[in-house]
Structure 1
Amino acid sequence: MNPIATAQYGLFAASQRFEASAQRTAQMGDRAFEVDYTHEAIEQITAKTEFRANLAVIKTADEMTDSLLDILA
């Protein structure tokens, strides 16, 4: 299993989740849509946290690869 590929998909999913929530939030002024601001705020915070977690996975995988290459060199 490739952790970087998995984290890249996680980044994509988090960005999609954030974008969908942002679009719903933008519709708050339209009376045709019922938007729960609290729910959308939680969605956006969760997406931000997921994005950061996946970035940490990529950073850690990169550091581990560098360490392995240093050992082998």
Structure 2
Amino acid sequence: MDPIATAQYGMMAAARRFDASASRVARMGVEGEQVDLPVEIVEQITAKTAFSANASVIRTAQDMQGDLLDILA
């Protein structure tokens, strides 16, 4: 199991969630579109937090790999 690949997938998923929500907000003024702004704001904050968490996983995995290489060297 590769934590970096898993975190990269998580970052892509979070980015897609954010983009979808932003797209819905952009269509807010279009006739016939029902957009619940508070729900979209929460969705965007959640996606941003998920993206940041996955980025932290990548940084930590890279640090751990570096430390392991230092120990083995």
**1:3 aligned partner:** 3
Shift of 1:4: 0.2
Residue 44 (structure 1) aligned with residue 44 (structure 2): yes
Tell me the distance in 2 between the aligned counterparts of 1:69 and 1:40: 44
Tell me the distance in 2 between the aligned counterparts of 1:40 and 1:30: 16
Tell me the distance in 2 between the aligned counterparts of 1:26 and 1:39: 14
Identity rate, percent: 60
Matched position secondary structure for 1:20: helix
Runs of 4+ in 1 over 6 A off after TM superposition: none
- Structure 2: runs of 5 or more not aligned: none
Tell me the distance in 2 between the aligned counterparts of 1:8 and 1:30: 34
Shift of 1:31: 2.1
Could you state the TM-score of these two structures normalised by the residue count of structure 2? 0.99
**2:53 aligned partner:** 53
Tell me the distance in 2 between the aligned counterparts of 1:69 and 1:19: 38
Report the number of matched residues: 73
**2:69 aligned partner:** 69
Tell me the distance in 2 between the aligned counterparts of 1:39 and 1:27: 15
**1:30 aligned partner:** 30
Could you state the TM-score of these two structures normalised by the residue count of structure 1? 0.99
- Structure 1: runs of 5 or more not aligned: none
Given residue 22 of structure 2, which amino acid in structure 1 is its aligned partner? A
